Amino acid sequence: MAERSVIFFDIDGTLLTHDKKLPALTKEAIFTLKEAGHEVAIATGRAPFMFEDLRKELDIHTYVSYNGQYVVLNGEVIDRNALNLPSLEKLTATALENDHPAVYMDHEDMKANVPEHSYITESMSTLKIGRFPAHNSNYYKDREMYQTLLFCAEGEEKQYERKFEDFDFIRWHPVAVDVIPAGGSKAKGIEKIIEKLGYPRERQYAFGDGLNDREMLSSIYHSVAMGNASDEIKAVAKHVTESVEDDGLYRGLQLVGLL
């Protein structure tokens, strides 16, 4: 049996298929890891309320959400990193001038700054979470926001990257990008958990496939890129497994000796 380790899993394209299904072998693997005494955690760009059902199904209570901006260990919030409010107000004004809507997100809910927009519908529907953001253009003004979604076509985020140094922009859909505090990442959120749990570097594992997994996969000692990841992401990982559609997570766990 392998030594007890901590393993971080991305959700979309890693735990879940592109149709947002949880493969039977993936679920079996998670519980096998837990029964062996390993610490199993999630590291995602999603909001906490976007994967509550998955956490319950897999009995996982430790997670990095919002690409590292909201971190929970065994059900307790241990780190928060909110967006700069004055900069968010300026970003909102610029985006509205460009007909680029935004969705503001805290740990409990999300609200859009426009009543409706085709980009919001197109991208949010791919998450299959059963909810869309209601309209409240002032939602961000009296609470901490950990991530904002900016809806614009590929390449259009460049103008925002040049203008807003307080934020990082990470594309997750052809018409949508995550806006997070500059320098924030899943890797930074994972550091907060590791500080508490104390697992040595050689007993840390991470699985992912997206652009927002780059820092995580390049910093974690045993990193595994899914077969459906881009070549750019595969290049920074230590191992590459099969596609999520081909039980890549289960096979990846076998590859690194955890199963």
Residues known to be catalytic: 10
Q: What is the token pair recorded at 120?
A: 């919001």
Q: How far apart, in whole angstroms, are the C-alpha atoms of residue 122 and residue 186?
A: 25
**What string of DSSP letters covers 87-113?**
HHHHHHHHHHHTT--EEEE-SS-EEES
Handedness of CA 190, 131, 108, 166 (dihedral sign): positive
Collect all residues with Cβ–Cβ distance below 8 Å to 118 and sequence separation of at least 6: none
Q: What is the token pair recorded at 61?
A: 């209570």
CA-closest candidate to residue 4, choices 250, 198, 192: 198
